[in-house]
Amino acid sequence: MRFLLEGYLRGTLPDYQMSAFLMACYFRGMSDEETETFTRLMLHSGQIVDLSDVPGIKVDKHSTGGVGDKVSLILAPIVASHGVPVPMISGRGLGHTGGTLDKLESIPGFRTSLSVAEYKRILRETGAVLMGQTAEIAPADRKLYALRDVTATVECIPLIAGSILSKKIAEGIDALVLDVKTGRGAFMSSYEDSVNLAKTLVDLGTRFGKNTRGFVTDMEQPLGVAVGNWLEVVEAVECLRGARGDGDASADLMEVTHTLAGAMLEAGGKAGSLDEGIRLSRQAVADGSAYRKFLHIVETQGGNTRAIENLELSPTPRHALSIKSPVDGFVAGIDALEVGLVSIQLGAGRQKLDDVLDLKAGIVLRVKVGTQVQAGDLLAELFTDRDDVVASARQRLQNAFLIRKEPPVRRPLLHCYVDQEGIHPRWQ
């Protein structure tokens, strides 16, 4: 395995041979020992950041991605406001799932490309740093991921686990909380596959000496209300201000956020239990400390805080269209995958890595699964500057809503909790 990975990184092993190896892994899997070796080699292909001079237990969160998943924007300042350092290296959106970096870069001036020295300085100054993967961190993973994408070998649990853990361990963390999505809009739609991935990640992180735990959370409908880069920043800011979250359409977003933040605060030694961590997370929003920490992070990473403090001055897209219910009934389903694909059509996401995003584009939901509606009630709004996609996107988004006469049976938002002791139904 060392021969393969080092040779591929140096360029002495051609793409077609590495593609054959990846395909073999995809069809036959890897043993635990092979997965650990693969992860270790990718980890040591680059620099492992030393954060020993940053006081405290360093804790990060990783999500496998979903539609409307802006949890990191809210969670990082919540956890950092309680004194737990959050070094967070994130990715860009590709396909129907959005990327944290794209959302952050919709804030005017916000810098996500930082040197390792800047990364450490900002973490010491603010308690949290949100940036992209540097050339020094797990370079073998950067090169392999591009090849996995074009050879259709992305959805392979050992390869996913090695990719995630090599980057997370290289960033200098002590503990990791995982959010593995399941459902129609998730990277892995099967519940069994999602649980298997969570268990693999927890076991692998533990073998590397990191305090690792995970949650399997639902992605059958979009998380929160906003899908699209700047739109998701706006929702995150409103949640941090306490203007959204309890009893409204962002309640699911905040329930996931508080649960993950609570687990991070427990792992960081600031809470004696998950329940206490959740209480502290809610407190940080209620007393304004999380919002102030977010402004500090934005300012330190070059962002324009006036854009955050004056959301009403946001730029307006050329087209703002309404989607209305054709009948009376209950919202029985919102197809998260289709919503994500429509957001790409509007300009909010990429189909290729070099696609240029329209950071204003996207969708805002006005209902969630279970909402009772009457004919003519507003279901969603879509925003775009693209003239040629309006009719198609409107029809597709209309079809993403399922309206039934009877109220639906709701899926659990938090399916299970995974730690070193095993899999626990729900998270309790």
Report the distance separating Cα 129 and Cα 420, nearest Å. Answer: 28
**Catalytic annotation present for 404:** no
Report the distance separating Cα 268 and Cα 56, nearest Å. Answer: 7
List strands edge to edge, sheet with 401-404. 372-373, 329-334, 401-404
Query: Length of the chain in residues, anyone?
Result: 428
Cα torsion 66, 82, 419, 165: sign: positive
Q: Which of 103, 167, 244, 258 is catalytic?
A: 167
**Catalytic annotation present for 328:** no
Report the distance separating Cα 4 and Cα 30, nearest Å. Answer: 15
Please report, for residues 182, 246, 359, 387, the alpha-carbon distance to residue 347 in angstroms, rounded to integers and kept in the order given: 25, 30, 8, 11
C-alpha dihedral, 229 to 234 to 238 to 240, nearest 10°: 50
Q: Where are the alpha helices (DSSP H) in 268-406?
A: 274-286, 289-300, 305-309, 336-346, 390-399
Radius of gyration over every alpha carbon of the chain, rounded to an integer in angstroms:
21
Residue entry with tokens 């370079």:
139
Q: Which of 60, 102, 141, 335 is catalytic?
A: 141
Report the distance separating Cα 73 and Cα 298, nearest Å. Answer: 11
Which two structure tokens, joined as six digits, stand for 142?
């950067």
Q: Are 88 and 60 in contact (CB under 8 A)?
A: yes
**Catalytic annotation present for 174:** no
Q: Which of 45, 63, 106, 163 is catalytic?
A: 163
Which two structure tokens, joined as six digits, stand for 335?
């197809």
Q: Within 13 A of 67's CA, how many CA atoms are on the CB side?
A: 31
**Catalytic annotation present for 163:** yes
Q: Which of 40, 58, 61, 62 is catalytic?
A: 62
Q: Which of 148, 270, 282, 368 is catalytic?
A: 148
C-alpha dihedral, 64 to 231 to 294 to 119, nearest 10°: 50
**Catalytic annotation present for 141:** yes
Largest interatomic CA distance in the chain: 64
Active site residues: 62, 141, 148, 163, 167
